[in-house]
Amino acid sequence: MPTALPPARIRNVALVGHDGVGKTTLVEALLVATGAVPRAGRVEDGTTVCDFEPEEHAHGVSLATAVVPLVVDGTKVNLLDTPGLVDFVVEVEHALSVADVALVVVSAVDGVQAHTRAVWELAEEAGVPRLVFVNKLDREHADFARTVDELREAFGPHVAPLELPIGAESALRGVVDLVADTAAVYDGDGRARTVAIPAELAEQEHHDHEQLVEEIVVGDEELLARYLEGTALTPDQLAATLAGEVATGAVVPVVCGSATTGVGLDLLVRLLCGLPAREVVAVEAGGETVEVPVDPGAEPLARVWKTFVDPFAGKLSLLHVVSGTLRADTVLTNTRAHVEERLHVLEEVRGKETSPVASASAGDLVAVPKLGSTQPGDTLAPKGSPVVVRSRPTSLPQLSVAVRPKTPGDEDRLSTGLHRLAEEDPSLQVRRDDETHQTVLTGMGETHLQVVAERLQRRFGVEVVREDVVISYRETITAPAEAEGRHKKQSGGHGQFAVVHLRVDPLPRGEGVVFVDEVVGGVIPRPFIPAVEKGIRQQLAAGGPLGHPVVDVRVTCDGGKFHPVDSNELSFELAGALAVTAALDQGKPVLLEPISRVEVVVPGAALGAVLGDLNARRGRVTDSRPAGGDRQRVEAFVPDAELTRYLVDLRVLTGGQGRYVAEFAHYVEVPAGLAVRLATR
């Protein structure tokens, strides 16, 4: 079995970027370039290491983060190939939570796209250093200079090219290394040959080299002094200083090439291996935030960052080893569930394949099968340890649909399948609405929910029918009313008799249902009063004259009659229900709709369109303010009925860059015109 490497020889690299920029193809090319496989798989025919799920083959895109380790000159590089579709952004967030660096892949044809900006912001928020690989330079209309200009315009002047391409489009044949002042061209098999810098690039290379050196030395006082004295600086000195500045985010290097031809890949790997490893990880202990050294000799500490559920092999938990060294049969405690977990087997993951390993040291990623109580985000620590590894909150699912099995009798299989899928996919929420009797799925978008349906059918044999989610309306009254409820039933033996008199008054929003007992004189015996209240509450929950649960009313029981023989609890329960039903009919009932507080973050250029759209949705905007960079934050109260497709429409309005969260706030009266339309449906 392979032995664990020290943290200084481990790099976790998250490949992030817009859909279609070639992240998966790049991983395949790096596998070939480092000798891990003899030939690259193809995204088009589903033969890649990363995309192994049938749904990924069917859609032709990555739908989950795949882990692919490489070992290059004694350094292990764990490549995390993340999806580029916005519906699967939570996968990106999970990968960034364990990444030492984010490799932002950008197409030289398409430049900076919507999801490029989104993943850049996520990496920045997570404190993960970035470097950029400009891919597809061999394609028609590829333009490296234009792409660099777009990167600087979007992300600032600290974006620094380390290379220049030799040739363009189909004539791409090599790159110039601005740090080393050298050039390389590539043969058909992807092997590089060092050559003289082409004459047509010499002047630009000299200018860009000097500019890059100045940007590097400005962050190191000693190196800056030597540079100003005219001392020649070696490529190794420049590379070492650059690595430190990349780690702090002071410089974002840009390298270039082509994943399909192999141009520039050796320099990319060298750069990744030369970056500093993570030295500390922030954790919480006793309510305080502390930093734990990434030390293989310390006590073992790990966090579960992702889970796979295989129909045959069961659950496989992916762990990030924060400190210490894990070995087979290590026993740790889940600090959330407070249960012990034995790590029976440690496995290295490469796509869908796993292989056993003897140990895994701090900084590495490892898989453990069949952890009973452990979920993504949980911390595994020595018994008695209060430590919890911090994890940033992830994007919340916002698009909901109701589903039911197409075949009657498949309800149990549907429930089991959804539970399993939600276990491995934290961005999928499943709930059963007892009021509407619907099973509601909430996901990150249309594609996400479609993939969930496909997986249900493939893995669990359940085909589902999608339906609109029923909005949970309420009703109340606007005027006081009173009524009497009489229940009388005579049959052989004892009969049933009860009379209840009630007053019903409207209450302010949010007050719920209040029951008041004002019965005097024993007209209703005291033991029967709880039965009256039970009947009233059950009837209000079942629905008023408009067919929805009744809220915000005070019901006062102030009189009634009883029979010494025929009265019982059931009789008064039924009489209470009859009385409150009659009173509601007289109380001028109105319909109430749920309102959510919505927070939307959008590009500044889309602010006007978003505000107009919120107004069209009967939203009430309460605040609009800057949210950093060119982003704007809008807060509003919007009816839930207007939010059912808001996620889809917001992405259209903002070019895929808008995001929002919503939480229930209160109920308000439905406008009269809309109430009439709802009543006639």
pLDDT at 675 over 80: no
Same domain assignment for residues 106 and 243: yes
Helix 411-424, helix 446-460: angle, nearest 10: 120
In whole angstroms, give the CA distance from residue 639 to residue 620. Answer: 9
Alpha helices, H only, 425-488: 446-460
In whole angstroms, give the CA distance from residue 616 to residue 618. Answer: 5
Nearest alpha carbon to residue 215 among 274, 281, 157 = 157
Q: Which of 308-312, 343-347, 536-540, 586-590 has the lowest mean pLDDT?
A: 308-312
pLDDT band at residue 149, thresholds of 50, 70 and 90?
A: very high
Same domain assignment for residues 451 and 421: yes
| Any domain includes 644 | yes
Given a contact cutoff of 8 angstroms between Cβ atoms, the answer to whether 379 and 302 are in contact is: yes
Q: What is the pLDDT of residue 3?
A: 62
CATH of the domain at 447: 3.30.70.870
Q: Which residues lie below 8 Å from residue 353, measured CB to CB, with a gap of 6+?
A: none
pLDDT band at residue 313, thresholds of 50, 70 and 90?
A: low
Q: Quick one: 20 exposed, middle or buried, by C-beta within 10 A (0-12, 13-18, 19+)?
A: middle
In whole angstroms, give the CA distance from residue 553 to residue 510. Answer: 10
Q: What is the pLDDT of residue 492?
A: 64
| Any domain includes 1 | no
- Whole-structure pTM value: 0.89
92's tokens: 């990106």
Q: What is the pLDDT of residue 233?
A: 86
Average pLDDT, integer, range 443-469: 94
In whole angstroms, give the CA distance from residue 71 to residue 80. Answer: 14
Q: What is the pLDDT of residue 474?
A: 96
> What residues pair up with 461 in beta bridges, in sequence order?
none
pLDDT at 188 over 80: no
- pLDDT 10s digits, 108-123: 999 999 899 999 999 9
Query: Cα angle vertex 460, ends 455, 466, to 5°?
Result: 60
Helix or strand run (H / E) with residue 499: strand 496-506
Query: Cα angle vertex 402, ends 397, 406, to 5°?
Result: 135
Query: Cα angle vertex 443, ends 646, 54, to 5°?
Result: 130
| Any domain includes 136 | yes
Same domain assignment for residues 237 and 352: no
Q: What is the mean pLDDT of the chain?
A: 92
Q: Quick one: 680 exposed, middle or buried, by C-beta within 10 A (0-12, 13-18, 19+)?
A: exposed
Query: Cα angle vertex 588, ends 586, 594, to 5°?
Result: 135
Same domain assignment for residues 505 and 537: yes
Query: Cα angle vertex 358, ends 352, 364, to 5°?
Result: 65
Average pLDDT, integer, range 168-197: 91
Same domain assignment for residues 443 and 559: no
Looking at residue 468, the DSSP 8-state letter turns out to be P
Handedness of CA 646, 647, 648, 650 (dihedral sign): positive
Q: Quick one: 204 exposed, middle or buried, by C-beta within 10 A (0-12, 13-18, 19+)?
A: middle
Side chain identity, residue 96: L
Same domain assignment for residues 26 and 114: yes
Q: What is the pLDDT of residue 276?
A: 84
pLDDT band at residue 372, thresholds of 50, 70 and 90?
A: confident
Same domain assignment for residues 454 and 361: no
- pLDDT 10s digits, 18-71: 999 999 999 999 999 888 887 888 877 778 889 888 899 888 899 999 999 999
Given a contact cutoff of 8 angstroms between Cβ atoms, the answer to whether 29 and 117 are in contact is: no
Same domain assignment for residues 153 and 241: yes
In whole angstroms, give the CA distance from residue 155 to residue 149. Answer: 10
Q: What is the pLDDT of residue 680?
A: 54
Average pLDDT, integer, range 493-514: 93
- Residue ending a domain, choose from 355, 389, 423: 389
Nearest alpha carbon to residue 322 among 2, 98, 111 = 98
| Any domain includes 287 | yes
85's tokens: 């579709």
Looking at residue 406, the DSSP 8-state letter turns out to be S
Q: For residue 608, how far is the Cα from the chain centroid?
A: 27
Q: Left if phi > 0, otherwise alpha if psi is -120 to 50, otherwise beta: which for 171? A: alpha
| Any domain includes 109 | yes
Percent of the chain exceeding pLDDT 90 equals: 74
DSSP string, 281-341: EEEEETTEEEEEE--TTS--EEEEEEEEEETTTEEEEEEEEEESEEETTEEEEETTTTEEE
CATH of the domain at 241: 3.40.50.300
Average pLDDT, integer, range 455-476: 94
pLDDT at 494 over 80: no
Phi then psi for residue 248, to 5 deg, are -90, -5
Side chain identity, residue 134: V
Given a contact cutoff of 8 angstroms between Cβ atoms, the answer to whether 477 and 433 are in contact is: no
Number of domains in the chain: 5
Helix 529-542, helix 569-586: angle, nearest 10: 50
- Residue ending a domain, choose from 362, 389, 416: 389
Same domain assignment for residues 166 and 262: yes
Q: What is the pLDDT of residue 493?
A: 67
Helix 235-248, helix 199-217: angle, nearest 10: 60
Side chain identity, residue 467: E
Same domain assignment for residues 609 and 544: no
| Any domain includes 242 | yes
| Any domain includes 394 | no
- Residue ending a domain, choose from 274, 291, 326: 274
Q: Which of 263-277, 382-396, 408-422 has the lowest mean pLDDT?
A: 382-396
pLDDT band at residue 314, thresholds of 50, 70 and 90?
A: confident
Q: What is the pLDDT of residue 546?
A: 92
Average pLDDT, integer, range 514-520: 95
Q: What is the pLDDT of residue 46?
A: 79
> What residues pair up with 68 in beta bridges, in sequence order?
79
pLDDT band at residue 155, thresholds of 50, 70 and 90?
A: very high
456's tokens: 């249900």
Q: Strand (E) positions, 605-658?
A: 620-626, 631-639
Given a contact cutoff of 8 angstroms between Cβ atoms, the answer to whether 45 and 56 are in contact is: no
For residues 105 and 676, the model is more confident at: 105
In whole angstroms, give the CA distance from residue 610 to residue 649. Answer: 10
316's tokens: 């496989």
Specify which of 274-283, 426-435, 528-537 reaches the highest per-range mean pLDDT.
528-537
CATH of the domain at 673: 3.30.70.240
Average pLDDT, integer, range 144-156: 96
Domain that holds residue 537: 474-587
Side chain identity, residue 434: D
Same domain assignment for residues 172 and 303: no
In whole angstroms, give the CA distance from residue 10 to residue 7. Answer: 5
Side chain identity, residue 370: K
Same domain assignment for residues 287 and 204: no
DSSP string, 328-395: TTEEEEETTTTEEEEE---EEEETTEEEE-SEEETT-EEEEE--SS--TT-EEESTT---EE--PPPP
Given a contact cutoff of 8 angstroms between Cβ atoms, the answer to whether 46 and 56 are in contact is: yes
Phi then psi for residue 604, to 5 deg, are -55, -35
| Any domain includes 2 | no
In whole angstroms, give the CA distance from residue 65 to residue 310. Answer: 15
